[in-house]
Amino acid sequence: MVTPTRKKDRIDKLAEAGSDAGVSLAASAWRTLRRSPVFLTGAVIIGLFVLVSLLSPWLAPHDPSDPMLIDQVIKARNQIPAVQDGHPLGGDLQGRDFFSRLLIGSQQTLIVGVLATLIGLAGGLTLGTLAGALGGWVDSVVMRLVDVMLSLPSLLLAFSISAMFARPNQYTVIVAVAVVQIPVFARLLRGSMLAQRSSDHVLAATALGVKPGAIVFRHMLPNSLGPVIVQSTLVLATAIIDAAALSFLGLGNPDDRIPEWGQMLGDVQNVFDTHPQLAFWPAGCIIVVALGFTLMGETLREALDPKSRR
Amino acid sequence: MLRYTIRRLIQLVGVVLVLSLLLFAWLRALPGGPVSALLGERSTPESREALTKQLGLDQPIFVQYFKFLGRALSGDFGVSTGVQPGDAALDIFLQRFPATLELSFLAIVIAIAVGIPLGYMAAKRRGGWFDNISVGGSLLGVAVPVFFLAYVLKDVLSSALGLPTEGRQDAIDATRVTGFFVLDGVITQEWDAALNALEHLILPAIALATIPFAVVFRITRAAVLDVLDEDFVRTAESKGLTAPTIRRRHVLRNAMLPVVTTIGLQTGALLAGAVLTEKVFSFAGVGQALAIGFERRDYPVLLLLIIMATIVYVVVNLLVDLSYALIDPRIRTR
């Protein structure tokens, strides 16, 4: 059945890319990546990002929720505390140390990105594996549902899911960003599974009497991992950007004691023209990290694509 | 071809039906149910009971769904509670849709007009500095949050170029024929109004165009690279065709299929991007209505606009699929 959106075709194509990938493809991919300056740039950015976010509680000079510079905000009438000793980036509108907020923000940003990707992956993995491994009516039902989800522009779907919650918080943001990714992962997995169901190694395993469960988990899933890894890397970038968009629409986490970059950026929209630095720092961080994930994802995709193995 | 179109249209109806069911469930799942959602925080027990009766919420749930569907089919999607309180949701959509259509159209034109030539040039110069810079730029374009870029354009570029930033409100008031401000100016030959309307569109359109541009560029580049390797291009070269002929008749024509698919898919990004961009520029379109609707939880308006966005997205992609036949004669004869 042809379905009303072609988004799925793109996903299916990605699924095919690694469907008959063996160890040799993985090995050759790694050989290409190790020498690719683009991939290494992305990897260094992400390495630094993860390192900083893990160490941020010790790196941050101050408590990110402590309005220690509030006197200066009150005295200067809606001015933000300037750069000064001990506060390399000054303070924000509530008189909190901006540098500490950026550092701690990296941790929350990483958590949002990773959790959203993991939830999307887990949901998509379950649905896609069910559909691809069982086929038949399970496949039809799951895929029709996935198609309906894909026929809504993804960010719009994330907005709608967030609007369901009366009191948004950190977790509703993660859920909204994650659910949008479920149909993408599901299609990806299913395409890859379907391609393998008729492949020789699955046929051989079936002929040898391997149990269906073992075939799915030991023979089919591992072979589908390439495109899933590529997609996960790209989703990490979109998750962080989408979370910022949610905050911008007032659908994000209103509690900013523990900051997150998207929230920091979305929350300063009303003072953008008077205090642009409050937006530029978190925006800069988001852009660099999103670029890092994208560089890794795109080079991975190219390296895993059998067509580009020349 | 006709059978294919009809089948796709039937599927569209199916998608919209399932979506309406999901959205109906969504409205139901809201904290406190639709009554609280519709009345907001100022509800009293009496007003709640009255609205419960009025909306028929005391009836079985499937009866409610079919009533909702019946009302929707007759164009009654309820009354706005937050965007333009008191106005019918459908009127809000009809008022604002031309503005968003105009903006998105300009954005996609920019994305195509810049993305395809740039993608072609990058592919021809594969690995060169032009290729590297433009690929890097396109990756950067996807990494920048749309609303941040919109703010930067608004605050930095608008003063430098002397362009207006505040939506269409202060546009020169011309005779309104279609609701498309630029088109109206052209039809009535009020050229100053048309130009002014275009000036109001240009910055938000650029912000909106970034992501579609980046994607169109990359797909064009990849597609052209694929085609350049093909035997028929070498044949065309060896039989002495001129470069422009090879480009037009052999390379671009064959590379266009994936590009056209992408353009269809990017309308999805446009719809979501319009929510963010229109909010930044206070541009009175459907996107702004959605942004305000999400902020003030205006569920009747949200429901209608989300359904409309889905229909637009699906229909555009159907048109894209149908346009394959125009590009690729092999599909036509099949």
Please write the tens of the pLDDT for every residue from B192-244.
777 777 778 888 999 999 999 999 999 999 889 888 888 888 888 888 888 88
- Which residue, A90, A99, A92, is CA-closest to A59? A99
Top-confidence residue, B155 or A1: B155
Within an 8 Å CB–CB cutoff, is residue B133 touching chain A?
no
pLDDT at A6: 61
Phi, psi of B168 (to 5 degrees): -110, 5
B143 neighbourhood in chain A, CB within 8 Å: 237, 241, 286-288, 290-291, 294
Q: CB–CB of A6 and B155 under 8 A?
A: no
Top-confidence residue, A247 or B182: A247
pLDDT at B303: 85
Contacts for B26-33: CB closer than 8 Å, 24+ residues apart: B26/A160, B26/A164, B27/B299, B27/B303, B28/B61, B29/A164, B30/A164, B30/A166, B30/B299, B31/A165, B31/A166, B32/A166, B33/B57
Say which of A2, A163, A291 has its CB closest to residue B294.
Answer: A163
In residues, how long is chain B? 334
Nearest CA in chain B to A261: B145
Q: How far is B188 from chain A (nearest CA, A)?
A: 36
Vertex A92 angle, CA B159 and B160, to 5°: 5
Q: Is the ipTM of this complex over 0.85?
A: no
Within an 8 Å CB–CB cutoff, is residue B51 touching chain A?
no
For residues B119 and B221, is the Cβ–Cβ distance under 8 A? Answer: yes
Q: How far is A247 from chain B (nearest CA, A)?
A: 10
Say how far apart CA A265 and CA A248 lie, in whole Å: 8
What is the rounded average pLDDT for all residues in chain B?
81
Q: CB–CB of A249 and B314 under 8 A?
A: no
| A278 CB neighbour count, 10 Å cutoff | 23
Q: CB–CB of B272 and A155 under 8 A?
A: yes
Within an 8 Å CB–CB cutoff, is residue B127 touching chain A?
no
- Which residue, A257, A203, A256, A199, is CA-closest to A224? A199
How do residues B265-281 score in pLDDT, each as one tens digit?
A: 888 778 888 999 999 88
How do residues B201-215 score in pLDDT, each as one tens digit?
A: 888 999 999 999 999
Alpha carbon dihedral B204, B207, B212, B217, in 10-degree steps, equals 120
Say how far apart CA B149 and CA B293 lie, in whole Å: 23
For residues A52 and A109, is the Cβ–Cβ distance under 8 A? Answer: no
Q: CB–CB of A287 and B151 under 8 A?
A: no
Q: What part of B 12-41 touches A (C-beta under 8 Å)? A: 12, 15, 18-19, 22, 26, 29-32
Q: pLDDT band for position A16 (50/70/90)? A: low
How do residues A17-68 score in pLDDT, each as one tens digit?
A: 555 545 566 777 788 788 888 889 999 999 999 999 998 888 878 888 777 7
Q: pLDDT band for position A119 (50/70/90)? A: very high
| % residues pLDDT > 70 (chain B) | 84
Say how far apart CA B260 and CA B323 lie, in whole Å: 8
Q: pLDDT band for position A110 (50/70/90)? A: very high
Residue B89 clears pLDDT 70, i.e. is over it = yes
pLDDT at A219: 81
Q: pLDDT band for position A170 (50/70/90)? A: confident
Q: How far is B191 from chain A (nearest CA, A)?
A: 33
Q: What is the mean pLDDT of residues A106-118?
A: 92
Say how far apart CA B110 and CA B252 lie, in whole Å: 18
pLDDT at B57: 66
For residues B141 and B214, is the Cβ–Cβ distance under 8 A? Answer: yes
How do residues B114-130 score in pLDDT, each as one tens digit?
A: 999 999 999 988 888 99
Write the single-letter amino acid at A14: L
Residues in a beta bridge with A91: A97
Q: What is the mean pLDDT of residues B285-306?
A: 87
pLDDT at A3: 38
For residues A69 and A88, is the Cβ–Cβ distance under 8 A? Answer: no
Structure letter (DSSP) for residue B214: H
Write the single-letter amino acid at A282: P
B15 neighbourhood in chain A, CB within 8 Å: 4, 147-148, 151
Say which of B15, B144, B155 has its CB closest to residue A151.
Answer: B15
Say which of B143, B275, B317 has its CB closest to residue A4.
Answer: B317
Say how far apart CA B320 and CA B322 lie, in whole Å: 5
Q: What part of B 253-312 touches A (C-beta under 8 Å)? A: 261, 264-265, 267-269, 271-273, 275-276, 279-280, 290-291, 294-295, 297, 302, 306, 309-310
Say how far apart CA B228 and CA B245 lie, in whole Å: 14
Say how far apart CA A152 and CA B272 lie, in whole Å: 10
pLDDT at A309: 45
Say which of A4, A160, A244 has its CB closest to residue B306.
Answer: A160
pLDDT at A1: 34
CA distances from B107 to A41, A49, B213, B288 (A): 31, 34, 9, 16
Q: CB–CB of B268 and A153 under 8 A?
A: yes
pTM of the shown model: 0.84
A287 neighbourhood in chain B, CB within 8 Å: 140, 143-145
Q: CB–CB of B294 and A162 under 8 A?
A: yes
Q: CB–CB of B269 and A153 under 8 A?
A: yes
Angle of helix B286-296 relative to helix A154-163, nearest 10 degrees, comes to: 30
- Which residue, A297, A300, A293, is CA-closest to A46? A293
Q: CB–CB of B31 and A165 under 8 A?
A: yes
Q: How far is B176 from chain A (nearest CA, A)?
A: 31
DSSP codes of every residue in B256-276: HHHHHHHHHHHHHHHHHHHHH
Q: CB–CB of A152 and B151 under 8 A?
A: no
Nearest CA in chain B to A147: B15
Q: What part of A 201-240 touches B (C-beta under 8 Å)? A: 237
Angle of helix A23-34 relative to helix A276-304, nearest 10 degrees, comes to: 130
Say which of B31, B139, B294 has its CB closest to residue A298.
Answer: B139
How do residues B246-261 score in pLDDT, each as one tens digit?
A: 888 888 888 888 888 8
For residues B256 and B301, is the Cβ–Cβ distance under 8 A? Answer: no
- Which residue, A86, A135, A140, A120, is CA-closest to A233? A120
Residue B113 clears pLDDT 90, i.e. is over it = yes
Residue A2 clears pLDDT 60, i.e. is over it = no
- Which residue, B224, B219, B269, is CA-closest to B107? B269
pLDDT at B56: 65
DSSP codes of every residue in A25-89: HHHHHHHHHHT-HHHHHHHHHHHHHHHHHHHHHHH-SS-TT--TTHHHHHHTTSPPPPSBTTBTT
How do residues B298-334 score in pLDDT, each as one tens digit?
A: 888 888 898 888 888 888 888 887 887 777 766 655 4
pLDDT at B173: 63
Within an 8 Å CB–CB cutoff, is residue A250 touching chain B?
yes
Q: CB–CB of B146 and A5 under 8 A?
A: no
- Collapsing DSSP states into helix, strand and coil, what is residue B63? helix
